[in-house]
Amino acid sequence: MARRPHDMTPLADLTHEKGTGPVRTRRPVYVDLTPPCNHACPAGENIQAWLDLAQAGHYRQAWDVLMRDNPLPAVHGRVCYHPCESHCNRNELDAAVSIHAVERFLGDLAAHEGWMPELTAAPTGKRILVVGAGPSGLSAAYHLTRFGHAVEIHEAGPVAGGMLHFGIPAYRLPRADLMREVARIEAMGVRIVLNHKVTDLLAEKQAGGFDAVFVAIGAHVSHRVDIPARDAARVLDAVSLLRQAGAGEKPCLGRRVVIYGGGNTAMDAARTAKRLGAEDALIVYRRDRAHMPAHEFEADEALAEGVRFQWLTTIKDVTGSSLTVETMELGPDGVPHPTGRVETLEADAVVLALGQDTDSGFLRAVPGIGFTPSGTVIVSPDMMTGALGIFAGGDMVPSERTVTVAVGHGKLAARHIDAWLRGAVYSPSPAPPVVDYAMLHLPVFSDADPTPQRALPADTRAAGFAEVVAGLNQVEARREAQRCLSCGTCFECDNCFAACPEAAIIKLGPGKRYRYDYAKCTGCAVCFEQCPCHAIDMVPEPVDGGTQS
């Protein structure tokens, strides 16, 4: 029997209420609800819409829809942690749609074909300064350009990309793929000034005649940690290690490397150490695997490449090549507590991967800008700081620190900046309710297993920084897109049209969906029960007996 949503009237009650003509108390209506993938995307992508176009083979149109929200699809298809897939309703059926793989396919295809977004907005004459050419700054610049504004990015580093370039290893994000998407943003008219560190923001704003500023400098400074070190083996931070490797340098780490930390950066540092020649890369972390901040697949890939883990361990002291470590135990609240039990480890180098901060001290000279105790910049819901016309986003504001969140901040800030420059207020329309799995009326079987992405053999990966995971080909990408259940949105499957016993449903033509002829509809709810994606709701009969088109 078809599944029913948990919040709808039971079928027995519908049977009691249905009837013909004036006795009908409930009627079906077509609705568009929010799919969980869209709801979970920090960049605010309309994932379901571009998947729908991709599954039909309309790749250019799918890319155009994707680019309305995210200017870096080839990057995101590789490095996003895809919360959209964690929330995909298909998880309850077999496995989530591999959304990131289809996104990567579209991004790579666009680069190969040389596609460019269409610029339709008339020039506004307004100039915006973006500080930082990382994912948030690039996103803001892209969207502001599409609004018709002139944008200039001032970047302290020698290349654009920020932590995309210096914090994510090339085996996850090949630099050529990153730079192609940066080049597209430049080709749209964004001017990127490299090796230009902003130290006096107000002077910079005035000298350039900028009407607004968006600051997104990222988190490039490693957390400091109080570990006694006397005549120690080489101790360095993970950000510096990844930056050197990203610049093509090969720091000498020695044969044995200990990485201290349990986040995604620690996983990248350990895997990078192996590629730089370390025979033994050991991650030491004070909690257990269940409580580590790194994503599961990151730890799995590290393990597959020979990285070792020593859980529930903290470093107390470093003397020469010897590390004194203490065993920890977790309390009922998951907080680690010292046990007093110590041991000695040997290492040629110690890499500290304990988090990053932003170098935002230059903003303290700007009146009105406030900071949290951790040093992040306080912004209001419109992304503006306490200084009029100065906005901030990405890793330097309180939020989850991921590439996709940063890109979402850039888009949101661009909308608020555009509205502020026009003397208006940006106010997004509220989204419809989210469709969960229990609301779908799906078949009880599945014959569409996910398409796996090919990967380099684990025992060959450490030989260099070649990309580990391959993309999908056109056939695979289209098939994967076709696994989408179209939750909450009609895809014209004709189930309702075929099931209606009263011929009360009228087809309006391809892409136009259907409408009800309420003079014939009895309110029997058969169409509602046959709609696989919950694009139909049963609602109380209106007092005036109105019609729906």
DSSP secondary structure letter of residue 493: -
pLDDT in tens, 160-216: 999 899 889 999 999 999 999 999 999 999 999 999 999 999 999 999 999 999 999
Crossing angle (nearest 10°) for helices 135-146 and 403-421: 40
Return the pLDDT at 140: 98
How far, rounded to the nearest angstrom, does the alpha carbon of residue 472 sit from its chain's CA centroid? Answer: 19
pLDDT bracket for residue 6 (50, 70, 90): very low
Model pTM?
Answer: 0.89
pLDDT bracket for residue 16 (50, 70, 90): very low
The secondary element (H helix, E strand) that includes residue 308 is strand 308-310
The secondary element (H helix, E strand) that includes residue 13 is helix 11-17
Greater model confidence, 485 or 23: 485
23 has a pLDDT exceeding 80 = no
Mean pLDDT value across residues 396-420: 95
Return the pLDDT at 220: 67
Query: Edge-to-edge strands of the sheet including 212-215?
Result: 191-193, 150-154, 127-131, 212-215, 390-392
Return the pLDDT at 30: 96
The secondary element (H helix, E strand) that includes residue 131 is strand 127-131
19 has a pLDDT exceeding 60 = no
Q: Is 431 helix (H, G, I), strand (E, B) or coil?
A: coil
pLDDT bracket for residue 361 (50, 70, 90): confident
Domains of the chain: 11-32+490-540 (3.30.70.20), 41-115+457-481 (no CATH), 127-220+358-421 (3.50.50.60), 225-353 (3.50.50.60)
546 has a pLDDT exceeding 70 = no
4 has a pLDDT exceeding 50 = no
pLDDT bracket for residue 10 (50, 70, 90): very low
Q: How far is CA 167 from CA 78, 172, 219, 272, 277, in A?
A: 14, 11, 10, 11, 19
Nearest to 180 by CA among 78, 270, 92: 78
Can you tell me which residue has the tokens 């046959």?
A: 530
pLDDT in tens, 506-532: 999 998 999 999 999 999 999 999 999
| Residues 194, 158 contacting (CB under 8 angstroms) | yes
Q: How far is CA 257 from CA 222, 320, 321, 500, in A?
A: 18, 13, 10, 68
Average pLDDT, whole number, for the chain?
A: 90
329 has a pLDDT exceeding 70 = yes
Beta bridge partners of 97: none
